[in-house]
Amino acid sequence: MGSNDKSNYKTRNVLYSFRHALSGFSKAVKEERNMKIHLLFTMVVILLGLLLQVSRVEWVFLLVLIGGVISLELINSSIENLVDLVTEEYHPLAKKAKDMAAAAVFIFSIVSVIIGLIIFIPRIW
């Protein structure tokens, strides 16, 4: 296998990785209610940001928060699916894992809302 073959192989693997990632995101959007809610709020935040002309620094904060919430929701959904795969019966550790993953999304979402209010309220008033 020549060096050009290795390069093509690595490129193909990267493209497959992107394809799997997009497939996972697509499934989450189609199947997870909370992901739909997060994306709705994402659209509202982006629209408000455009209408109220937030600064570049504020855009950076908003985009990091949006990415964080969506990423945590994907991780939360993954944990829930994995727990459901392992056991269909009630188990306190399964509940604990699901609750803790949900709490991570909840806490980051609350912090995101607070930061969003700090950015948007002065412009609305």
Which of 69, 74, 63 has its CA nearest to residue 26?
74
What 19-24 contacts at long range (C-beta under 8 Å, 24+ apart), as own/partner pairs, is: 24/74
Q: How far apart are CA 78 and CA 27, in angstroms?
A: 11
Catalytic residues: 73
In a 10 Å sphere around its CB, with 0-12 CB exposed, 13-18 middle and 19+ buried, how is residue 97 labelled? middle
Angle at the Cα of 106 from the Cα atoms of 83 and 71, rounded to 5 degrees: 70
